[in-house]
Amino acid sequence: MIAAILSLTLLGAALGIILGVANKFLQVEGNPLVDELIAMMPGSNCGQCGFPGCSGAAAAIADGTAAPTCCPPGGKSLATAIAAKLGLTVDLSAMSDDGPKIAMVSEELCIGCCRCSKVCPTDAIIGAAKQVHNVFREACTGCSSCIEKCPTEALVMKPVPVTLQHWVMPKPAAA
Amino acid sequence: MGFMNLFKHFLGDDWGVHPDDHKRPAADKPVRIMPVPHKLYLPLQQHLGGPARPTVLVGQKVKKGELIAEAQGMVSAPIHAPTSGTITAVTEITAPHPSGLTLPAIILEADGADEWCELQCCDDPFALPAVEIGKRVAAAGVVGLGGAAFPSAVKLTGALRAEVSTLVMNGGECEPYLSCDDRLMRDAAADIVDGIRIMLHATGAQVALVGIEDNKPEAIVAMQAAAAGFDAVQIRPVPARYPMGSEKQLIQVLTGREVPADGRAFDIGVVVHNVGTALAVRAAIRDGRPLISRLVTVNGNCMANPGNIEVRVGTLAEEVISFSGGLKGDGIGLARRVMGGPMMGMQIPHWRVPVVKGTSGILAFDTAEVAEQEPDPCIRCGSCVKACPMGLLPLEMSSRIRNEAYSEAIDLGLKDCIACGCCAYVCPSKIPLVQYFVHAKGELAAQDRAKLRTDATKKLALQRQDRLEREAREKAEANAKRKAEREAAAAAKAAAEAAAKVETQGESA
Torsion of CA B139, B141, B142, B146, to 10 degrees: 160
Nearest to residue B76, comparing CAs of B162, B152, B159, B156? B152
What pLDDT digit, counting tens, does each position of B230-279 carry? 999 999 999 999 999 999 999 999 999 999 988 899 999 999 999 999 99
Q: How far apart are CA B75 and CA B47, in angstroms?
A: 9
Nearest-CA distance from B116 to chain A in Å? Answer: 33
A102 neighbourhood in chain B, CB within 8 Å: none
Q: How far apart are CA B465 and CA A43, in angstroms?
A: 12
Q: How far apart are CA B196 and CA B272, in angstroms?
A: 11
Rounded percentage of chain A residues whose pLDDT exceeds 70 = 95
Q: Name, of A22-36, A88-102, B31-45, the range with top average pLDDT.
A: B31-45
CB distance B348 to B317 below 8 Å: yes
| Cβ neighbours for B89, distance < 8 A, ≥ 6 positions apart | B58, B106, B107
The sign of the torsion formed by the CA atoms of B233, B235, B236, B238 equals positive
Task: State residue B2's pLDDT score.
Answer: 52
CB distance A82 to A40 below 8 Å: yes
Task: State residue B1's pLDDT score.
Answer: 42
Average pLDDT over residues B114-123: 91
What pLDDT digit, counting tens, does each position of A5-38 carry? 999 999 999 999 999 999 888 877 777 888 888 8
Residue B3 binned pLDDT confidence (cut-offs 50, 70, 90): low
Sheet-wide strand order for B79-80 = B53-54, B67-70, B79-80
Task: State residue B94's pLDDT score.
Answer: 94
Is the pLDDT reported for residue B505 higher than 70? yes
DSSP three-state, residue B208 = strand
**Bridge partners (DSSP) listed for residue A135:** A125
Residue A81 binned pLDDT confidence (cut-offs 50, 70, 90): confident
**Bridge partners (DSSP) listed for residue A155:** A105
Residue B136 binned pLDDT confidence (cut-offs 50, 70, 90): very high
Contact B442 A44 (CB under 8 A): no
Task: State residue A84's pLDDT score.
Answer: 83
Contact B464 A123 (CB under 8 A): yes
Nearest to residue A48, comparing CAs of A158, A156, A147, A154? A147
Task: State residue B289's pLDDT score.
Answer: 95
What pLDDT digit, counting tens, does each position of B42-94 carry? 999 999 889 999 999 999 999 999 999 999 989 999 999 999 999 999 999 99
Task: State residue B262's pLDDT score.
Answer: 84
Residue B439 is nearest to which of A42, A44, A172, comparing CB atoms? A172
What pLDDT digit, counting tens, does each position of B293-329 carry? 999 999 999 999 999 999 999 999 999 999 999 999 8
Mean pLDDT of all residues belonging to chain A: 86
Neighbours of B408 (CB within 10 A): 15
**Bridge partners (DSSP) listed for residue B104:** B92
Q: How far apart are CA B174 and CA B419, in angstroms?
A: 14
Q: Residue B33 — φ and ψ, nearest 5°?
A: -105, 120
Rounded percentage of chain A residues whose pLDDT exceeds 90 = 27
Is the pLDDT reported for residue B370 higher than 80? yes
Task: State residue B6's pLDDT score.
Answer: 53
Mean pLDDT of all residues belonging to chain B: 92
In A, minimum Cα distance to B49 occurs at A165
Nearest-CA distance from A63 to chain B in Å? Answer: 24
Helix extents (H) in B326-405: 367-370, 383-387, 394-402
Write down the number of H helices and E strands in chain B. Answer: 15, 17
Contact B460 A163 (CB under 8 A): no
pTM: 0.84
Least confident range from A116-125, B3-12, B463-472: namely: B3-12
Q: In the 8-state DSSP scheme, what is residue B274?
A: E
Rounded percentage of chain B residues whose pLDDT exceeds 90 = 83
Is the pLDDT reported for residue B488 higher than 60? yes
DSSP state string for chain A: -HHHHHHHHHHHHHHHHHHHHHHHHSPPPS-HHHHHHHHHS------TTSSSHHHHHHHHHHTTSS-GGG-TTTHHHHHHHHHHHHT----GGGS--SS-EEEEE-TTT-----HHHHH-TT--EE--TTS--EE-TTT-----TTGGG-TT--EEEEEPPP-TTT--PPPPPP-
**Bridge partners (DSSP) listed for residue B70:** B53
Nearest to residue B54, comparing CAs of B28, B13, B89? B89
In B, minimum Cα distance to A175 occurs at B375
Helix extents (H) in B23-176: 130-139, 152-161
Average pLDDT over residues B171-193: 95
Q: How far apart are CA B192 and CA B262, in angstroms?
A: 32
Q: Residue B193 — φ and ψ, nearest 5°?
A: -65, -40
Put residue B300 in one of left, alpha, beta given phi > 0 → left and psi -120 to 50 → alpha: left
Nearest to residue B106, comparing CAs of B17, B41, B164? B41
What pLDDT digit, counting tens, does each position of B331-353 carry? 888 999 999 999 999 999 999 99
The distance in angstroms from the start CA to the end CA of chain B is 120
Peptide bond into B25 cis (omega under 30): yes
DSSP three-state, residue B17 = strand
CA angle B463, B464, B465 (to 5 degrees): 90
B95 neighbourhood in chain A, CB within 8 Å: 164
Average pLDDT over residues B444-450: 89
Nearest to residue B320, comparing CAs of B361, B292, B280? B361
Residue A74 binned pLDDT confidence (cut-offs 50, 70, 90): confident
Q: How far apart are CA B57 and CA B413, in angstroms?
A: 47
Residue B446 is nearest to which of A44, A164, A168, comparing CB atoms? A168
Q: In the 8-state DSSP scheme, what is residue B496?
A: H
Contact A172 B435 (CB under 8 A): yes
Q: How far apart are CA A85 and CA B374, in angstroms?
A: 36
Rounded percentage of chain B residues whose pLDDT exceeds 70 = 97
Contact A138 B401 (CB under 8 A): no
Q: How far apart are CA B237 and CA B220, in angstroms?
A: 7
| All domains in chain A, ordered by first residue | 32-86 (1.10.15.40), 98-160 (3.30.70.20)
* One-letter identity of residue B72: Q
The distance in angstroms from the start CA to the end CA of chain A is 59
Residue B457 is nearest to which of A43, A164, A171, comparing CB atoms? A43
Task: State residue B153's pLDDT score.
Answer: 95
Residue B5 binned pLDDT confidence (cut-offs 50, 70, 90): low
CB distance B30 to B82 below 8 Å: no
What pLDDT digit, counting tens, does each position of A127-146 carry? 889 999 999 988 898 888 89
Helix A75-86 vs helix A53-62: angle between axes, to the nearest 10 degrees?
A: 40
Helix extents (H) in B120-274: 130-139, 152-161, 180-187, 189-203, 217-226, 247-255
Task: State residue B319's pLDDT score.
Answer: 96
Chain A contact for B397, CB < 8 A? no
